[in-house]
Amino acid sequence: MKQHSLAFRWIFTLACGLIVALGLFAAPLKSHAAEKTYTIGTDVTFPPFEYANDNNKYVGIDIDLVKAIAKDQHFKVNIKAVGFSGAVQAVQSGQMDGVIAGMSVTPERKGTFDFSTPYYNSGVVMATSQNNNKIKSLNDLRGKTVAVKTGTTGAQYAQSIQKKYGFKISTFDDSSNVYEDVLTGNSVACFDDEPVLKYAINQGTQLSIKTKPAAGTPVGFGVKKGQNGELLKKFNAGLTHLKKTGQYQKILNKYLNAKKSAADNHSFWGILKQNKVFLYQGFLQTLWLTIISIIFATIFGVIFGLLGVLPIKFFRGLSATVIYLFRGMPLLVLALFIYTGIPTLTGTKIPAFIAGVITLMLDEGAYIAAFVKGGIESVDKGQMEAARSLGLPFGKSMRKVILPQGIRLIVPSFINQFIITLKDTSILSVIGILELTQTGKIIIARNLEGFKVWAMISIIYLIIITLLTWLSNWGKRRTKI
């Protein structure tokens, strides 16, 4: 065993460094619990309840209401726009204290949430494109496809009448994608809350409402069942007071009657000019997330890659298991499991950015481990035998002879993995990280110009990936020298 001591020591040092680095990175976040601030989850694309305004600041009925109540009741709120599903899961797992996202109070949700006094009553309507004269009522939907947004009352209503009227359902995470699916003709109609559809139409979306409001349900503020009772009491008390003072009605009137903003230029260059700072911030977050993740993924991958070439069966099996497990798990599933699943089991909160880093570290690290292991194994076995015949121990032979040759072989693969990591950050928008993709969703929620905004984001990704591809090709040429 002495011949392997140096290799073990090196691997142990890398492992300790990874643990210490993660600990230092997460340590400042422990003070959150001591602050008298409630973390509130909300949607990103559900105007007029919540959306980003011309200055890319979150506004809407829900945002103004919860801020006004917080001020009235003397507490603070830290609003996290993570999408409706993300907000609901975050509250259920204890990551956030409450959710306000145009959330309908239903019997099913009462099983897992405690709700405030309803602050709005909404009804579901059906809309088609303005030039569609064939769909005039629910009876015309038979054999057709309709679009709905995940988790909304509109989706629930569509499911409840689907069998009766014989239509198919396409589900999307964002309202803008729902409307775009109708406008492109993939779906003939959509179901959504009346104020949400009216807002979209007021902003210029070419839709037409064809039915009267149905399935009217109250909208409330929710907390995890049996928890945060004090927050719920403060919300109810604040809501009652705002109604008495008239501030509540002012908030409703401000957004329910909102017209298209004159400041919103819907040309390609106009959208780019108006949102260039916001897009730049999203890009920086993407780049920062990629760099941090690839550093930890490299350490993780090198450790398990080296374990995979040690002449000890247990370590080789451990390496193979880790590589198989995290390469085989879909990135989206892994992100949601870490962000919402683990806190549900342990009761320990994991901030979205940390959860994102851990997700990418495990996923990308597994791939790095695979090509580190493969790179080392591709070095001619005679190299190790020659080094050992000269009296060099295993660890020194690995460091002085095998690794320098193996590294030359894996450099191009490492750069390719950096590119993949950059692209994979877009999936982490599902847990609310405000990277480039999430930034695009927020902009689209306001101007509903999905094609133009996604074109901009695609161009940004392509420019960066092209530069990294050139770097990868340069690395390949260098390794052949």
CATH number at residue 366: 1.10.3720.10
Q: Is the pLDDT of residue 389 over 90?
A: no
Cis peptide before 393 (omega within 30 of 0): no
CB atoms within 10 A of CB 265: 15
* 168 in any annotated domain: yes
Q: Is pLDDT larger for residue 389 or for residue 80?
A: 80
Query: pLDDT tens digits, residue range 289-310?
Result: 988 998 899 889 888 988 887 7
Do 44 and 113 sit in the same domain of this protein?
yes
Average the pLDDT over 89-113 and give the result. 88
Do 160 and 250 sit in the same domain of this protein?
no
CATH of the domain at 163: 3.40.190.10
Average the pLDDT over 444-471 and give the result. 81
Do 299 and 447 sit in the same domain of this protein?
yes
User: How many folded domains does the chain comprise?
Assistant: 3
The confidence score (pLDDT) of residue 1 equals 45
Do 250 and 355 sit in the same domain of this protein?
no
Report the percentage of the chain scoring pLDDT > 70.
Answer: 80
Query: pLDDT tens digits, residue range 207-260?
Result: 999 998 886 788 999 999 999 999 999 999 999 999 999 999 999 988 887 666
* 443 in any annotated domain: yes
Per-residue pLDDT band at 46 (split at 50, 70, 90): confident
Q: Is the pLDDT of residue 416 over 90?
A: no
Angle (deg, nearest 10), helices 436-447 and 175-183: 60
Per-residue pLDDT band at 378 (split at 50, 70, 90): low
Do 361 and 452 sit in the same domain of this protein?
yes
* 148 in any annotated domain: yes
Measured distance CA(54)–CA(256) in Å, rounded: 17
Do 198 and 252 sit in the same domain of this protein?
no
Do 178 and 204 sit in the same domain of this protein?
yes
Under 8 Å between Cβ of 242 and 250:
no
Q: Is pLDDT larger for residue 381 or for residue 269?
A: 269
Lowest mean pLDDT segment, chosen from 83-92, 186-195, 341-350: 341-350
* 261 in any annotated domain: no
* 262 in any annotated domain: no
Expressed as residue numbers, the domain containing 418 is: 2-28+267-479
Do 404 and 347 sit in the same domain of this protein?
yes
Do 209 and 334 sit in the same domain of this protein?
no
The confidence score (pLDDT) of residue 12 equals 47
* 43 in any annotated domain: yes
Lowest mean pLDDT segment, chosen from 41-50, 173-182, 465-474: 465-474
Q: Is pLDDT larger for residue 409 or for residue 429?
A: 429
Do 162 and 296 sit in the same domain of this protein?
no
| Residue 162 CB-density burial (10 A; 0-12 exposed, 13-18 middle, 19+ buried) | middle
Lowest mean pLDDT segment, chosen from 139-153, 229-243, 258-272, 390-404: 390-404
397 Cα distance to chain centroid: 44
Under 8 Å between Cβ of 159 and 248:
no
CB atoms within 10 A of CB 210: 16
Q: Is pLDDT larger for residue 60 or for residue 381?
A: 60
Q: Is pLDDT larger for residue 147 or for residue 180?
A: 147
The confidence score (pLDDT) of residue 402 equals 61
Tokens 């401000």 belong to residue: 254
Lowest mean pLDDT segment, chosen from 22-36, 153-167, 416-430: 22-36
* 18 in any annotated domain: yes
Measured distance CA(234)–CA(38) in Å, rounded: 12
Q: Is the pLDDT of residue 398 over 70?
A: no
Report the percentage of the chain scoring pLDDT > 90.
Answer: 25
Q: Is pLDDT larger for residue 388 or for residue 314?
A: 314
The confidence score (pLDDT) of residue 264 equals 58
Per-residue pLDDT band at 394 (split at 50, 70, 90): low
Task: State the average pLDDT for the chain.
Answer: 81
- pTM: predicted TM-score of the whole model, two decimal places: 0.65
The confidence score (pLDDT) of residue 114 equals 94
Do 186 and 285 sit in the same domain of this protein?
no
Domain boundary among 202, 237, 256: 256
* 367 in any annotated domain: yes
Under 8 Å between Cβ of 78 and 65:
no
Q: Is the pLDDT of residue 263 over 70?
A: no
The confidence score (pLDDT) of residue 147 equals 95
Do 392 and 320 sit in the same domain of this protein?
yes
The confidence score (pLDDT) of residue 360 equals 92
Measured distance CA(312)–CA(260) in Å, rounded: 68
Q: Is the pLDDT of residue 428 over 80?
A: yes
Contacts of 179 (CB under 8 A, 6+ apart): 147, 190, 200, 205, 207, 448
Domain boundary among 156, 191, 218: 218
Per-residue pLDDT band at 359 (split at 50, 70, 90): very high
Domain boundary among 256, 278, 307: 256
